[in-house]
Homo-oligomer: A and B are copies of this chain.
């Protein structure tokens, strides 16, 4: 049981975590904190949090865990703000999609990653944002990655692991660098491609006609292009190296495939498509509940 949890940024992720922990009876009190009052007031009305504070000291006082539910670009500023008010035994964790940048932000603010700062990332979400979109089941059968370091406090790690397990999530651990590479491939690159595709089409002269004749496959394929521009702006800038490496690999393969189409090399095209279909079908069989 976590006696008191402070959530900085009660949006889709923070709000869903609060709902899930309440549903599981895993948390004594949940305190909301953030830059603007309106969403906190809304979270209170929805019963997602027990109270909110507008002063950072009041927000984190007596809290066992402080969770940063803010875009990764805001983590450093937020840590600066909270630092004077954090107790020596407060556990800090976050939900950011990039972990190298969060660790670097903590090192900038604290001089080194504090042993009780356990970086985390729930691999869950929708293209929606805000507390209105939150729901208790968001993390059920989803994966949560924690990226502790050699200096991490084992008890703090155990608490954060336990917290996520209460939401029905499967908790894994990996290194910061590996996390950022894996997410660049499976999440950051796909989002970049979806945003780029929709913008490319929107810039065409006859884009009204173009969108009119788009089918269901297009709707699914571009769903993630409806995600928060600010959040994805932050992610792109905060996982630059791993993301650009993946963009490079993707662009090279796309160029190879375009060259095969240009010279009419049916065999090369078919082989690529067959490999891709086999990989995607096998992924779906293995991770059907993911």
Using a CB–CB cutoff of 8 Å, the interface residues on chain A facing chain B are: 123-127, 142-143, 145, 172, 178, 182-183, 185-187, 189-204, 206-207, 209-230, 232-233, 236-237, 240, 243-244, 246-251, 253-255, 257-258, 261-262, 264, 266, 269-270, 272-281, 283-284, 286-287, 290
* Given A229-B273, A270-B233: A217 in contact with B224 (beta carbons within 8 A): yes
Known: A233-B266, A233-B273, A247-B258. 17 other contacts (CB 8 A): A127-B217, A143-B215, A182-B206, A185-B201, A190-B197, A193-B221, A195-B257, A195-B272, A195-B273, A196-B253, A196-B254, A196-B272, A211-B283, A214-B290, A220-B224, A244-B258, A248-B258
Chain B residues, Cβ within 8 Å of A257: 192, 195-196
- When chains A and B are docked, how far (Å) is the Cα of A191 from the Cα of B280? 13
- Assess A276 versus B198: contact at CB under 8 Å? Given A217-B187, A223-B221, A244-B261: yes
**What is the distance, in angstroms, from A126's C-beta to the closest C-beta of chain B?**
8
Identical copies of this chain, number: 2
A197 CB contacts on chain B under 8 angstroms: 189-190, 193, 250
Contact residues in B for A193 (Cβ distance below 8 Å) = 193, 197, 221, 254
Of B202, B218, B269, the contact of A190 (CB 8 Å cutoff): B218
A178: chain B residues at CB < 8 Å are 209
Q: How far is the CB of A227 from chain B (nearest CB, A)?
A: 7
Contact indicator A247/B236 (Cβ below 8 Å): no
Q: List 5 A-B contacts (CB under 8 A).
A: A123-B213, A193-B254, A195-B272, A200-B253, A229-B270
